Amino acid sequence: MRSPILAAVIAASFLTACGGGGGSSPSPTIPGQTGQNSSLNSTDVVQSSTDAAFEPMDTGEADAGVGNGSLGASASARSVQALPHACIHRTTRTVTVNADGSITVETIHFFDDACTQVERDAVAVHASSGGSATIARTVTTYNQAHLQLGVRKSNYALTGSSNNGSWTLTSAFYVGTSTSPITQYGHQASLNASAYSATTGRIANDAKPSINASYGHQSAVSATVTNDAAGDTTFTGTRNGTAFKGALGALTLSAAPPFTVSGGTQIGTSALTGSVTFDSDGELTAVALTGTLVNGNSLVVTSSADANGIVTVNGTITSPSGASVATFTTDASGDGILTLANGTQVPIVDWHVVW
């Protein structure tokens, strides 16, 4: 989890970004930039690159939850796997069977070992009928002063079993207490004999005056899935995508899978390879990704864990010439700081960059 100092920086940066004051805008060009689209500015590169980098963690958490039962059940044919527990590794879980037969699972991640300071509160309501199931999930993220940093609302439709099924997910992310989402994505995945495939489309609308644009990313995944005795789920494979840019509000996401982005201009492609691992609570435990991004930029993402098992994720984005474009550091919940090459810092909340 984040240190108190980093949490304070996030809170300060978050308020600055939302208020439109303080800090400097990203530099207009990337040093040594060559390749697919030489007209891209640094915001184009950083936004499209971080979308590609965070997408495996963002969607992987949802997919792991479908398989390991941490969202209530992996499919209509499987009983609840995610048992309730008190404070373990800064996480608690409660499971409630409702009067209408639905199941509510609340998983709370905390800043502290005593589980008193809430960082992330995830509530999933699972209902099943026949051979299908639905899950409505809300994830609320806080800073250490218990100010709300953001909310992610997701809806799942599941069919089949945990080792031979499919699911569709639509999700929206809201900054702070806003009622208008800045990011939306659609995701479809299927799993058969541990062979996993998925498509994802994602749109981010940034109304900050210095940006005032929409960014999109769509990708296709081919991977294998392994589960260990502890309930950890690991996805290993490739993720190839395309990045888009348009005027603010110009990009649209298809209503049905395969989810695609339209209404803008293609600004480049991305190709990632590696693995991500989630525990039985749906929390990221390990990540190792490398790949190429728009304009030939490179990405490396690694993770480390301290003696208490607290995970830190570190990423670097470099230009084709090896110059630094940006670095980022987050905790296992996807909260942290993105630092541009010119020193500008912006917060990351729940795997979303908040300019």
Mean pLDDT within 60-79: 69
Kindly report the average pLDDT of the chain as a whole number: 86
The tokens describing 251, both together, are: 């990009």
Number of domains observed in the structure of the chain? 1
Nearest to 200 by CA among 58, 49, 68, 74: 58
pLDDT single digits (tens) 283-308: 899 999 999 999 999 999 999 999 88
Q: Band the pLDDT of 174: cuts 50, 70, 90.
A: very high
Q: Which carries the bigger pLDDT value, residue 5 or residue 81?
A: 81
Residue 155, beta-bridge partner list? 136, 170
Q: How far apart are CA 60 and CA 290, in angstroms?
A: 16
pLDDT single digits (tens) 123-148: 999 998 877 889 999 999 999 999 99
pLDDT single digits (tens) 202-241: 999 998 898 999 999 999 999 999 988 888 899 999 999 9
Q: What is the pLDDT of residue 79?
A: 41
Give the max Cα distance, the chain. Answer: 61
Cβ burial 75-93 (10 Å sphere, 16+ → b, else e): bbbbebbbeeeeeebbbbb
Mean pLDDT within 14-27: 38
Q: Band the pLDDT of 10: cuts 50, 70, 90.
A: very low
Task: Give the domain range for residue 337.
Answer: 4-353
The tokens describing 263, both together, are: 């209404």
